[in-house]
Structure 1
Amino acid sequence: MRSSHFLSLFAVLLVLGLANAAPHAAAQLESSHKLESRTIGHIWSALELFLYRLTHGGQYPPGYGQAPVTSTSTTAVIPTKTSTTVAQSSAQASTTAITSSTAVPTTAISTPVTSASSTIATSTSTSSTPNPAATGLTVCSAQSLDSFPLSCSSAASTGVDTCCTESPGGHLLLTEFWNTGKDSVGPNTTWTVHGLWPDNCDGSYESYCDPARELQNVTAVIEASGDQELLGYMNALWKSNTGDDESFWEHEFNKHGTCLSTLEPKCFNNFQPQQDAVSYFRKTVATHKTLLTYETLASAGILPSLTQTYTLEQVQGALEKQHGGGVNVNCDGSVFEEVWYHYVSQGSIADGNLVPAPLVGSKSTCPSTGIKYYPKYTTIPAEQPVGSPGGGKIVDGGKVFLYAGPSTDYVAQKNYLTSTGKWYASGTPAGYTLKAVEGGSYTLTTSKGPCAVDGTTKLFSCGAEVTKGSEFVFAADGTLTLGGSGAFSAAQTPSGQNQILVYQNSDNAVKLVIVGIAQ
């Protein structure tokens, strides 16, 4: 190339280089020395551009002239539980962007918000793609709820992750009280909370599953969580008829909450002490908010009254129609005092769903007719307590004889349980002292000590070796039950001086019914 052509080309390229560099110059006026420095920089840039194009056949450098890429956000937004469907539809695109980053600061990830409702509709999506960079409350939060089987379904019978599917206590009961007379608590148009109970799929249940997690300071634990709204709701609507709400809450979590497999500490991301308990109380309250028992009954013409009575079909029918699942209607004698709503679960109790389910386990204890639904804070007529077929009264602090045989005809049987809990046919029946606990249950104690059913062997026994008594319920006909079951059995019928071991199951040759007769 001739020198004149070279210089001409240099001049043209110099001008073009300056023109191409100009868009990167500041648009604002600057001081003269800054402008001079920037102009010199542009000349050098033009010279570098000229040399690159001279040696690359006139081509521009890769990416030259493109706008610089800048980040529009430093926050990775995690989808909340209420936007599961949307989160799943955008999961692939979002995952690529986040995983290509060198790091996402922990403080830049927003904490997922759990829904206040316990009955969020299950997503219709079949996708189980994890949510992008999920850091939710539980180890299950990264997956869509429909990737987990319903508890107690055939799909949940084996091989499930018990952090994401409740097992073995996959049949859940949300229970409510209607306390009347001197035991009246809460507003006179609201059923109050009793608890959330995990039953096994056959209606039996475990209790006090983890002593290490039991609480004695529920109020302090909830205050530490900062959830004052939860505590306020509990103070208003989770009431004990003894006036000791704190002990009532402790009892419910210690007995039932510690048996929820999905609330075990290992099931939480970054578990904090008592996070399991707070999640238990939140889910119970959230579920109670969806169950307008008083309003449901009132809309069916079932209102508290000192004179009007109702049938079991009326009461249970109204509640089950509204709930969409099974409901136990329970009475003290003929006095309506408790309802149990039946559910199964999907996902964790902490951030999953409860789904209405058919009734499993014990039947309603109210009679078929003559149900009395008394108003609160009103003097009511004296009632014959539950389970007094001999005309006596089963009451707190009272005593009963426990007769046992193949039917409830205790007069014909005359075989009873001894002070150690064995089945006997001679002598005088042993007295069992009753101590009332929450929910219409009683502990039993004899002269030998407290009585319990062993969780492994199912042996019924009383004595000093029993460290914690079982909580029994007497049905309307006086039948002794435990965990919703009145099935007992023994290897043989007693005769003479033989005393026969009694088990709470139907596995042995002689099937038994145990009836409490008040002294």
Structure 2
Amino acid sequence: MGAMKSYLPIPILAFLIPLFAVLTVAQDFDFFYFVLQWPGSYCDTKQSCCYPTSGKPAEDFGIHGLWPNYNDGSYPSNCDPDSPFDPSKVSDLTGKMKADWPTLACPSNSGLKFWSHEWNKHGTCSESVLDQHGYFQAALNLKKQVDLLQILQNAGINPDGQFYSLESVSGAIKDATGYTPGIQCNADEEGNNQLYQIYLCVDTSGSNIIECPVLPRGGCSSKIEFPSF
């Protein structure tokens, strides 16, 4: 019996070790938040902003990120330190990223720091589905798929410094896309509530907008400012 006790676990361990290795490599998540930010609201704060070295971005929503999330509202982060951001892997996308995913952080820079942060913190948690190039390409494709500024302007909601009802902003986006967005606000220099970020939920392939399993906390009042840029 003693000999059996010694040898019995070996085949079990042989099975469990590769299984454990697979589980630690695969990233599980339930959906993506695709987050777009309004540059006018990013800049109209006490902290202000800096335009990227390529110049002032267009008056349009810019990509903030594509973030893997869980249905309970929590999220994984920094999942693979062995897969750091590599600019050479997205060299063919850099021009588009500068236009659609511009940095507004100070001091003024090219955007590489911003993209590196987004890949290292969020992108590595979805690399079981999207490699580095695929991750940035997916975000650019989603930006092309949903023209948020045009959607709002079609509903008479313009970046003119006026106040609009939160309900009208959310309703315009839902009417156009079919799905309820998450809307996040920040405060301008005078402390006014302003439209800052819009969250759309995307399936785990990174390509299809879906109804959000959970919406982020928005911090918005019932009337929000849509500042110019």
Stretches of structure 2 that go unaligned for 5 or more consecutive residues are 1-21, 188-192
Counterpart residue number, 1:118:
none
**In the alignment, is residue 373 of structure 1 matched against residue 226 of structure 2?**
yes
Residue number in structure 1 paired with 2:98? 235
CA RMSD of aligned residues (A): 2.2
Q: Is contact 1:168-1:201 (8 Å) kept? A: no
Structure 1 unaligned segments of length 5 or more: list them: 1-160, 265-275, 377-519
Task: State how 1:34-45 maps to structure 2 within 5 Å.
Answer: none
Residue 172 of structure 1 is matched in structure 2 by 32
- Determine which of 248, 251, 266 is the counterpart of 2:114: 248
1:358 shift after superposition: 2.9
CA contact (8 A) 1:325 1:359 kept: no
Q: Identify the residue that residue 332 of structure 1 maps to in structure 2.
A: 186
Residue-by-residue CA offset, 1:447-486 (whole Å, 9 max, x unaligned): xxxxxxxxxxxxxxxxxxxxxxxxxxxxxxxxxxxxxxxx
Q: Is the 8 A contact 1:330 1:365 kept in 2?
A: yes
CA distance in 2, matches of 1:309, 1:356: 28
Q: Aligned in 2, Cα 1:209/1:200: closer, same or farther, shift over 3 Å? A: same
Cα deviation 1:193-217 (Å, max 9, x = unaligned): 11111101212101001101122x4
The aligned amino acid for 2:29 is G
TM-score (norm 2): 0.74
Instruction: Work out the number of aligned pairs and report it.
Output: 187
Confirm or deny: 8 A CA contact 2:27 2:125 kept in the other structure.
Answer: no
Q: Which has the larger radius of gyration?
A: 1
Secondary structure of the structure 2 residue equivalent to 1:212: coil
CA distance in structure 1 between the aligned counterparts of 2:155 and 2:137, rounded to whole angstroms: 30
- 1:374 deviation in Å? 0.4
Kindly report which structure 2 residues correspond to 1:97-496, keeping only aligned pairs within 5 A, or say none: 168-180=28-40, 181=44, 182-183=48-49, 185-188=56-59, 190-215=60-85, 217-218=86-87, 220-223=88-91, 227=92, 230-242=93-105, 243-244=108-109, 245-263=111-129, 276-306=131-161, 308-333=162-187, 334-345=193-204, 348-349=205-206, 353-369=207-223, 371-376=224-229
Find runs of 4+ consecutive structure 1 residues off by over 4 angstroms.
none
SS at match of 2:82: helix
Distance of 1:238 and 1:314 partners within structure 2: 26
- How many angstroms apart in 1 are the aligned matches of 2:179 and 2:227? 25
What do residues 289-333 of structure 1 show as CA deviations (whole Å, max 9, x unaligned)?
111010000011100123x20111011111122122231111113
Higher relative contact order (CA 8 A, sep 6+): 2
Cα deviation, residue 167, structure 1 = 6.0
**d(CA) in 1 for partners of 2:220, 2:226:** 11
Cα distance change on mapping 1:235 and 1:362 into 2, 3 Å: closer
Tell me if the contact between 1:328 and 1:359 (Cα under 8 Å) persists in the aligned partners. no
Give secondary structure in 2 for the equivalent of 1:204: coil
Secondary structure in structure 2 of the residue aligned to 1:205: coil
Alignment identity in percent? 28
Query: Normalised by the size of structure 1, how large is the TM-score?
Result: 0.34
**Higher helix share goes to which structure?**
2
